[in-house]
Amino acid sequence: MVKFVSPFHLNSQHLHGAFGADSFGRKAESFARWFGTPAFLLIQSAVVAVWILLNVLAATLRWDPYPFILLNLAFSLQAAYAAPLILLAQTRQADREKALSEADAAHREALATAAAQRQDIALQQTQRLEELLAANTALTEEVQNLTRRIHERVVRTVGS
């Protein structure tokens, strides 16, 4: 499938993902976008609940007893990576939206200019048609006058 790109949007094609166009960059941006999804929140909540339950209820599996220092460290590590990824994705998305907005504004400007030009052409054509109609009316009146005069002479000539 070929994706159409308008001429006004060609200038913004270089704005790829926030982390580059390579596979790592695409995966990093995809991961950053996944942080805010309901699936991520549900999975994280389930992992935290299992972590706490195992450390509170299981007598032999207490690798992180209350106050859950390792869990807190895991959250800190996650936040340390998630925040920059999310901010970079948002910044790049804002750049893409700005470029597309500017391209759309240029497109609207070009459309307005073309519409004004078409309107001017239509006005010129209307004026030319009015001039031709006036000339045609004058010629028709002249033909009528000449026809009347010829008719009068024919009548005078035949009558004499």
Per residue in 26-59, pLDDT (tens digit) is: 777 788 888 878 999 999 999 999 999 988 887 7
CA distance 136 to 22: 71
Side chain identity at 127, as an amino acid letter?
Q
Q: Check: CB of residue 7 under 8 Å from CB of residue 99.
A: no
Q: Of the ranges 12-26, 112-126, 145-159, which one carries the lowest mean pLDDT score?
A: 12-26
Summarize pLDDT for 55-82 with one digit per residue, the tens. Answer: 888 777 788 888 899 999 999 999 998 8
- Listing DSSP states for 104-119 in one string gives HHHHHHHHHHHHHHHH
Domains of the chain by residue range: 17-159
Per-residue pLDDT at 108 exceeds 50:
yes
CA distance 147 to 71: 109
For residue 119, name the pLDDT band (cuts at 50, 70, 90).
very high
CA distance 142 to 115: 40
